[in-house]
Amino acid sequence: MSKVNKLFVNQNSEYSEVYQCFRFGMRMCRWAGFFPVEGLDKPTISGLRYNLKGFYIIYYVATIVVGSLSAILTFLWLLENDLTLITVSDCIFSMTGFFSMFMMAGMARDWPVFMRKMTEIEHHLQEIRTSKNTITCCNIMTSSVMIAALVEHVLSVIYIIYLTKQCMSSSTELYEILMEYFVVIAPYYLQHLPYNHVAGFIFKIVNIQVTFLWSFTDVLIICFSIYLISYFQDLNKVINKRRNDSSWEQLRVHYSRVEELVMQVNEQLRLIILQSFVTYIFYICTQLFHTLKTSQSRLIDCDKDKVDIIRHSPEYLTYYVFSFVFLVLRFVVTSLLAANVSLVAKKPLTALDLVPSSEYGLEVRRFRLQIEYTPVAMSGLFFYVTRPMLLQVVGSIITYELVMLQLH
């Protein structure tokens, strides 16, 4: 850490690098109605407080209630209709938002205490801290992912409106077009409730919020991975420069503290990581299936003579190319960054292998055993995110895709 940064931290014990990495993103999450934590507008963690009082709670409760209603209606719609790829896909999308909503509620409850624990560990690691761009990287990744998600959502709206006008609605009246639009994005709604513009607008807001959550949970995984990787990289630099017996004990203590950072992050993210990988497998398989079979379930009710027109339209091509590329890129970036935590955590073994036998003491042996036998990686509750695990995921996607193609 630079002298200026050290001086600032010493003068202000409430300064938190991890808080600065996520301050921008968590403020967006609060604006979206999912994070009842106050103090995110302040530069330090001193004002962080989980608060279920005030005007924000009205917005928060409304978000939870309407989101839950949407998930319940989607599940009932799945039970009342044939089990098809489109019904399952819509149900998974809605249920993903439902579970993400409650996972964010749990994270909001723990956030002030979580930030203080992480900050306390950070202060013990000041002497090894040299990375200066972690906060900037997190903010750039947050902005990039959320802007790309917004572009994808706008393209989907343009495409569905075009599909509605070409395929489902023979009327040019705005009322009819809007109703048909909601038939596509929220078929469960019209099956259980009469249509009106107010309810349609509310369920469209829910659709936007679910889309936000799906991308934002990936942002959390990406930014926490960047944050943890930066600490391991700083520690590895120190280890490579200090190969004398007197420093190994302190280096092992530093490693244990960075390991504690990983454990704290896993405590908050394990369910989010599990859900993220499950949904990625499903949606990548679905997108590949539609691509390889040159079919799209939204066109089932469309006249055959209009299908080719829709398929060659710029609205269709732009949306599906962008959507698939964005989905794959998100999966690659999210999974590789999460897997790299495990990779950089094992790198001190290289330095330990080069320690001369004359300096290979008890602390070096303890350090080596700790690295070899303690799993340090991002956790998805039932698995650790490592590169071999990612190869298994890719293999599973290929297997599921072949099965889907054979069963079609």
Q: What is the pLDDT of residue 37?
A: 92
Copy the structure tokens of residue 261.
């950072």
Checking if the pLDDT of 12 tops 60, the result is no
**C-alpha 368, offset from chain centre:** 33
The average pLDDT across 103-118 equals 94
The average pLDDT across 246-267 equals 90
Contact yes or no for 266/345 (Cβ under 8 A): no
Among 119-133, 246-260, 278-292, the least confident range: 278-292
| pLDDT band (50, 70, 90) for residue 178 | confident
Mapped onto helix, strand or coil, the DSSP state of residue 82 is: coil
Output 149 or 246, whichever has higher pLDDT: 149
Q: What is the pLDDT of residue 46?
A: 86
The average pLDDT across 47-70 equals 90
Among 81-95, 292-306, 386-400, the least confident range: 292-306
Q: Count H helices and E strands in the chain, helices first.
A: 14, 2
pLDDT in tens, 183-230: 777 777 767 777 777 777 888 888 899 899 989 999 999 999 999 999
Task: Tell me what the pLDDT averaged over the chain comes to.
Answer: 84
The average pLDDT across 95-108 equals 92
Q: How far apart are CA 212 and CA 25, in angstroms?
A: 11
Burial (0-12, 13-18, 19+ Cβ within 10 Å), 174: exposed
Q: What is the pLDDT of residue 175?
A: 67
pLDDT in tens, 346-380: 999 888 888 888 778 888 889 899 998 888 999 98
The average pLDDT across 4-26 equals 70
Mapped onto helix, strand or coil, the DSSP state of residue 300 is: coil
In single-letter form, the type of residue at position 251 comes to L
Neighbours of 12 (CB within 10 A): 12
| pLDDT band (50, 70, 90) for residue 6 | very low
Q: What is the pLDDT of residue 99?
A: 92
**What residue spans of 242-313 are helical by DSSP H?**
248-292, 304-311
Q: How far apart are CA 301 and CA 103, in angstroms?
A: 37
The full DSSP string for 208-249 is HHHHHHHHHHHHHHHHHHHHHHHHHHHHHHHHHH--SGGGHH
Q: What percent of the chain has pLDDT over 90?
A: 41
CA distances, 240 to each of 162, 248, 294, 349, 351 (Å): 59, 11, 53, 10, 6
Contact yes or no for 203/70 (Cβ under 8 A): yes
Q: What is the pLDDT of residue 284?
A: 87
CA distances, 356 to each of 236, 238, 245, 351, 365 (Å): 18, 18, 10, 10, 12
Checking if the pLDDT of 310 tops 80, the result is no
| pLDDT band (50, 70, 90) for residue 47 | confident
| pLDDT band (50, 70, 90) for residue 307 | low
DSSP label at residue 168: I
In single-letter form, the type of residue at position 218 comes to D
Checking if the pLDDT of 3 tops 60, the result is no
Contact yes or no for 226/113 (Cβ under 8 A): no
Checking if the pLDDT of 9 tops 50, the result is no
CA distances, 358 to each of 43, 245, 348, 353, 354 (Å): 49, 9, 19, 13, 11
The average pLDDT across 38-64 equals 89
- Paired residues of 49 in beta bridges: 38
